Chain A
Amino acid sequence: MLLELSGLTSHYGRIQALKGIDIDIAEGELVALVGANGAGKTTLLRCLSGVQPVSGGTIRFDGQDITRAQPEIRVGLGISQSPEGRQVFGPMSVEDNLRLGAYRRHGPDVAADLERMYDLFPILRRKRREAAGTLSGGQQQMLAIARALMSAPRLLLLDEPSMGLAPLLVAEIFDIIQSLKAAGTTIFLVEQNAQAALKVADRGYVLETGTVVLADRGERLLADERVREAYLGL
């Protein structure tokens, strides 16, 4: 397993946001995590990146215990996140945002990867000199994903990449996610858009108020009565 979570808990003050999460992700898998508002999806990804304190349980990455590792160590090991709300470096240029995505890496590969990102997201090439904050929501989302990819991650964490985007853009983002998977990237995808996420995912987990209530193959979850009722509005 590339990522193993066991009994992971996390608190905001006295509020417990994660109540013992067990999740495994194998190399090359695309795993979706779906759940309603406030279920704890973002909290879980923040724990994985080391920007949210873990109060119990363990995170193992590639066999190594990283539960208490600093965020920059995790990026160095290969965990990269495109966070909820994009969080681009607004006043800085698109290209600077991408270069900073490769902050932990050095050497000629970085320049080559920059070109690769521009091929993957042509709009970013056209806007490379512009301030990231001036991009549209969809463009910023692409930038956030590309910035996360610039660290050449072994595990890519995506937090609601389709949030607030027009349907056409949503489709485009999911196409990109699928092509990343096809290229061998391991992806942990958090979405409120359960339909789209489960359709592309190998496996999925359903999170409810800090607890995993369902875990199965993507298409099986899509067909599941409880999922259809609660998350797909069917």
Chain B
Amino acid sequence: MFAEFLQYLFSGLTSGAIYALAGLGFAIIYNASNVINFAQGEFIMIGGMTAASLVAAGTPLWLAVALALVVAMLVGIALERLAIEPARDSDVVTIVIITIGASIFLRGAAQVIWDKEFHSLPAFSGETPIALSGATLMPQSLWVIGSSALAIAALWWFFNRTLFGKAMLATSHNRLAAQLVGIGVKRVLLASFALSALLGAVAGVVVTPITFTSYESGIMLGLKGFSAAVLGGLGSGLGAIVGGLIVGLVEALASGYLSSAYKDAIAFIIILFVLFFMPSGLFGRRGTDRV
């Protein structure tokens, strides 16, 4: 009974960590530009696919991972430069639609560059399950949770301890004042895409040994990251993390105790529930407590 619950908990925390990273990606770009970047899931896919194909081609795992992070960041930068920046003076809805177009384009490109098959990565430290009070935990789950925690800590440090991080936060609080103190808001926008892409790629790389990846896997992960961000309150870093964990846990418990058929529906239900009953999410819009 308890073992079963613990098992669902592990699985929920693992996927929740991934959704938290995806949600943070939404939050960072939203803060810099008020735009919801629907290509966020594609960053996850690009991270996973790049690493998987490099390893398949004989690249050592650590190098493949590093290159995958770099590739995803470059894609994020290119997306901002080529698709978002030229439309900077358009209204937010237009730019959101551009990101939807970009996500379709990136999926198409992935299908051409790679294929329609599923790809995987070897687990980073083997496949021997760890037994814990009757439940089992895969070592890769620890990698997922650990990497996410590390990424979140690094992000916290960046936004709270570095001048450029503070400048990015300041821009989200007051764009005009940011310009008046000499913060280049164009560079902030570019950095937000690079950072979000990096976070997405981290998620994509660590989760691929568990879930596999294909050109399409960004769709669902992006959607769940979005529901995490909406649940936490768009733009709130802490909210995205808590939201991600809640979405992951609810999903795991619902598919465990009810039916796994509900798994993917949970994210939609949460989005609708939040939009109807608490549009500003758990942590409001303008909290002081963002990551």
Contact = CB atoms under 8 A, between A and B. Distances in A.
Contact of A91 (B163, B176, B181, B288): B288
A72 B182 contact: yes
A44 B178 CA distance: 19
Interface residues of B, number: 20
A83 interface: yes
Most B CB contacts (10 A, CB to CB) among A88, A89, A101 go to A89
Interface string A78-108: 0011010001111110001001110110000
Given A75-B181, A131-B288, A151-B181, A100 B166 contact: yes
Interface string A173-205: 000000000000000000000000000000000
B183 A100 contact: yes
B287 interface: yes
Interface in B161-186: 163, 166-167, 169-170, 173-174, 176-184
B179 A49 contact: yes
A92 B174 CA distance: 11
Given A83-B177, A87-B177, A76 B163 contact: no
Most chain A CB atoms below 10 A, which of B166, B169, B179, B180: B180
B286 interface: yes
Interface residues of A, number: 29
A158 to B, nearest CB: 12
Given A96-B166, A100-B167, A103-B167, A91 B182 contact: no
A88 B177 contact: yes
Contacts of B174: 87-90
Given A49-B180, A83-B180, 18 more contacts: A51-B180, A72-B182, A72-B183, A75-B180, A80-B180, A87-B176, A87-B180, A88-B174, A91-B286, A91-B287, A92-B166, A92-B288, A96-B170, A100-B181, A103-B163, A103-B181, A103-B182, A150-B181
Interface of A: 49-51, 70-72, 74-76, 80-81, 83, 87-92, 96, 99-101, 103-104, 131, 147-148, 150-151
Interface of B: 163, 166-167, 169-170, 173-174, 176-184, 286-288, 290
13 contacts: A70-B184, A74-B182, A75-B182, A80-B180, A80-B181, A89-B178, A96-B170, A99-B163, A99-B166, A100-B163, A101-B181, A103-B163, A103-B167
